């Protein structure tokens, strides 16, 4: 391991963009697949690796849904949260905002109260057993239409987990226009209830998707946002407002949103003075970790200790944490950066 790799590993971190189902380790997925032999998810590790090779984003969405369909009871939900916390703890992650798609679990027949109870228990166990604080983001899967928007909002407002901090929007961006008004209404209600607006935008479609989440959903952070560079006016707006971007380089390569890592726009995003955070998205599916994302960009783009520490600080400052908690993690980062 190089010195910069060791530094990246030692950095205290915050993870802002990771999906619950996408965080499931291969061992967890295989255990679930073998418990549910009716699924099309492979039952051995070699075939699972092949299953995780994606042709494009729609293919990734199909695979993700197949894995999601293995999560059939609240105990499975809690298992995923606690597994994610265990994986993050060894990477010196202090806090994670874990994106949960509750409507997908509702579709599997789970009552919302039981989903919430599982999330609450798992968050407490993650803090106690792994020292990782968990916040939740409830996101709407756009490809499932208006029912998904209503189901997600109802769960968030009527039976939220204690650590629910934000309201999100993910899935296939090209499916959003058909349910534009329902999405806007859901975000308006969620924001009125005090949830932060944390939607994806500009991952697989152009700047218009980012403008939509900024102008009509009140985005406080943007998941991905890499297509902003296609619109100079949007770049200027993001530079002025410093709306954080949750950038996930390996994810973008694996889902064919960029052809290879060297072509990733991360260096230009930084050059343009935009607010960038590093994240892992669906780490086992993409063969990465949050620590690995820091190491990968350091190697690919020549980032040093100062730049990596700045990215780590950005994530802390963009998190849904109180000022005291942020200050504690920032102090840890500064201590590591001085060594």
DSSP string covering 256-270, please?
TSSSSGGG-SHHHHH
Which two three-digit tokens encode residue 258?
């960029």
Q: Which of 65-79, 112-126, 156-170, 301-315 has the lowest mean pLDDT?
A: 65-79
Does 37 map to a domain?
Answer: no
Place of tokens 């840890």: 332
Does 63 map to a domain?
Answer: no
pLDDT of 1 reads 65
Q: Which domain holds residue 181?
A: 3-30+72-338
pLDDT of 10 reads 97
Q: What is the mean pLDDT of the chain?
A: 94
Distance CA 257, CA 259 (A): 7
Does 89 map to a domain?
Answer: yes
pLDDT of 45 over the 70 cut: yes
Rg (CA), the chain: 19
Do the beta carbons of residue 153 and residue 190 sit within 8 Å?
Answer: yes
Does 15 map to a domain?
Answer: yes
| Core vs surface per residue 166-181: b (16+ CB within 10 A) or e | bbbbbbbbeebeebee
pLDDT of 121 over the 80 cut: yes
167, β-bridge pairs: 138, 197
Torsion of CA 175, 179, 182, 185, to 10 degrees: 70
289, β-bridge pairs: none
Q: From the candidates 97, 143, 203, 246, which is the catalytic residue?
A: 203
pLDDT of 326 reads 98
Which two three-digit tokens encode residue 226?
């890499």
Q: What is the pLDDT of residues 94-118, one digit of tens each?
A: 999 999 999 999 988 999 999 999 9
pLDDT of 50 over the 90 cut: no
- Is 203 assigned a catalytic role? yes
Does 40 map to a domain?
Answer: no
Half-sphere exposure of 191 (CA within 13 A, CB side): 16
Does 280 map to a domain?
Answer: yes
Residues 6 or more apart whose CB falls under 8 angstroms from that of 265 comprise 226, 229, 258
Distance CA 284, CA 277 (A): 20
- For the residues 1-8, what does the mean pLDDT come to? 89
Distance CA 194, CA 170 (A): 20
Distance CA 270, CA 264 (A): 12
Does 14 map to a domain?
Answer: yes
Q: How many domains does the chain have?
A: 1
Distance CA 100, CA 228 (A): 25
- Residue 282 is classified by DSSP as S
CATH for 129: 3.20.20.140
pLDDT of 115 reads 97
Distance CA 269, CA 193 (A): 32
Q: Is the pTM of this model over 0.85?
A: yes
Q: What is the pLDDT of residues 131-161, one digit of tens each?
A: 999 999 999 998 888 999 999 999 999 999 9
Distance CA 200, CA 150 (A): 18
- For the residues 210-222, what does the mean pLDDT come to? 98
Does 108 map to a domain?
Answer: yes
H/E element, 197 = strand 196-197
């Amino acid at each position: 391991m190089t010195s910069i790799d060791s530094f990246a590993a030692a950095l205290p971190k915050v993870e802002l963009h990771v999906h619950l189902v996408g965080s499931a380790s291969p061992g967890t997925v295989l255990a679930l697949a073998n418990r549910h032999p009716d699924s099309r998810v492979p039952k051995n590790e070699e075939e699972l690796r092949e299953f995780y090779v994606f042709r494009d984003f729609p293919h990734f969405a199909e695979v993700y849904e197949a894995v999601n369909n293995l999560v059939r009871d609240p105990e499975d939900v809690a298992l995923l949260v606690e597994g994610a916390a265990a994986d993050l703890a060894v990477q010196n992650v202090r806090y994670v905002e874990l994106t949960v798609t509750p409507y997908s679990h509702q579709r599997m027949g789970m009552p919302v109260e039981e989903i919430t109870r599982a999330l609450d228990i798992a968050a407490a166990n993650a803090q106690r057993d792994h020292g990782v604080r968990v916040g939740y983001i409830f996101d709407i899967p756009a490809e499932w239409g208006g029912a998904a928007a209503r189901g997600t909002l109802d769960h968030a407002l009527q039976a939220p987990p204690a650590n629910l901090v934000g309201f999100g929007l993910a899935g296939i961006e090209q499916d959003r226009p058909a349910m534009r008004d329902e999405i806007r209404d859901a975000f308006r209600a969620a924001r009125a209830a005090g949830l932060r607006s944390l939607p994806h935008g500009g991952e697989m479609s152009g700047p218009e998707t980012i403008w939509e989440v900024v102008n009509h959903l009140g985005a406080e952070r943007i998941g991905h946002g890499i297509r902003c560079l296609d619109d100079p006016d949007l770049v200027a707006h993001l530079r002025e407002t410093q709306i954080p971007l949750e950038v996930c380089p390996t994810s973008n390569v694996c889902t064919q949103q960029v052809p290879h890592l060297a072509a990733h726009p991360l260096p230009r995003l930084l050059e343009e003075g935009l607010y960038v955070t590093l994240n892992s998205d669906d780490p086992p599916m993409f063969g990465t970790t949050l620590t690995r994302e820091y190491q990968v960009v350091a190697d690919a783009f020549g980032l040093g200790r100062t730049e990596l520490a700045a990215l780590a600080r950005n994530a802390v400052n963009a998190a849904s944490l109180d000022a005291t908690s942020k200050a504690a993690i920032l102090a840890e980062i500064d201590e590591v950066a001085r060594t």
